[in-house]
Structure 1
């Protein structure tokens, strides 16, 4: 049954009939031009999400040195630097079922692994140039930075934002959004299930219906997938902000979930990092974790991440970073970890 909505103007009732989009590209263009259609106010009514487009057709590789295998429809960032991956399908597209879910999970898993911050930033800068604006101006307006004659203050705010993006990628704090003119019940159930199970990643659908009447067009967005269980799984209060972890709170989680042996391993890792002057960064994330880095000149590289609930160490991309471009050096680093009683790390693999 075709739905209608009504506008009243000049004492007349103007019916507008629900109408399918002619093409997926039309809906994609609307989303790129009007990010508010993604329903950021519904995603978090207490702290509405604002979104800025990084790039359409964002390339995704499936290995570190591989070619760009896939293309995500849209990549956005919100005001907290949370990457928001958007895949668009019309209801008439038969892929709008399980296939699109697997596709999105591929994008998320590989994007986190193989999207260096520099690529995201350069993609955003390219999008701004094509739109005829400067990246600094676009970000300053998006972040609502206070106008100032001090260029350094604005630059500091922008650099802090990109730092948040990097941290969110490292913590795998993402938002996955499926967009269609109609979300089928089967897809809705999958999205609600995933959203309830994933602690650091939000999974949502947005239904954007089109109503046409005369020369008028109205678009109505509805966010789907938020449940009480999902909010609990993400550890979010009314503001939806992530916890900033510190050593004491991290060790408490390790104690509660992994036991005293894991605590000894974590303390040994922290002591080793501090003895070598390596920076330790505690993440702001629903997932309790910290990053140990390596400072080379003005640049800081991430060596590994430790998650409390899994007591794991994750290695990052080392191919371009001397000395870890050599396998023997990665193995040497792994051997140092393995000298800690209870630790088991394989330097030849990307993650443990």
Structure 2
């Protein structure tokens, strides 16, 4: 899969079992997106000319890159295609409009099946949307299956391009939703002003000062006060959204970066504070777990609860989401549901995914 950060295609070779250990990560790799493909995918996230043809071509390019990664990973571990039950391919989201009943992921799953000689299961969001859900977030179902603990209430926060929360209360009740931007605005601002793809460890943000007036303006966006179920994406929080709040201002770029990091941290903390039950511990996965300054701010905002990466639970934070879509493919093969209606707002549990035989 490739997430909203659009930094690369993550591939996780995973085995699942109803018994413990429920999930075993055999191996993983990330193939960076070529700059031209990344630019094309970013452009497809907003309206433009000749979109259908461009999306078709980009989807095929994405599938060829994914196939290269799958074959490389299998070769590294001495595993043949015939030993793999299926590829769970999320693809790349280019539009997410649950208010209109659709979400579009491209990735040419039929081509991926052809190139790898392995069944491909994709299009995980459509079935939940058809049942009246948001089609997102889907990862909380995997979090609940793998990491629920009756002895500890906990929240798992996946910070990729966007941030989503999974609150596991320990009594089989699960709450989950997108809190707002994760790394998406931070990465954009970093790329515009430093030429780097991301702000490594939050070092640049740490060098700046939060701009209170700007932060207040950003926090007034109505998305943050909406109640769950809710999900969001680049269609809503995009460069133009940020620019409209910056118009007429002449702030230091490092100070804007510090403010954007504070926006991510504050919206996560405030979203968690708004939940009916409060967790004993906080675990972070996704790229945000590698941002030391963001982790520090979350710890300060969520004290006295400890804030750790999911590595403390035995799950590498870099591969949690890719493992989740492998799990969704496994669930589809078993004809078992993959969504949580309490999270997405769907009318009920549904089997997610469309199968493309090899």
TM-score by length of 1: 0.27
Larger Rg: 1
Greater RCO, 1 or 2 (C-alpha within 8 Å, sep 6+) = 2
Structure in which a larger fraction of residues adopt strand = 1
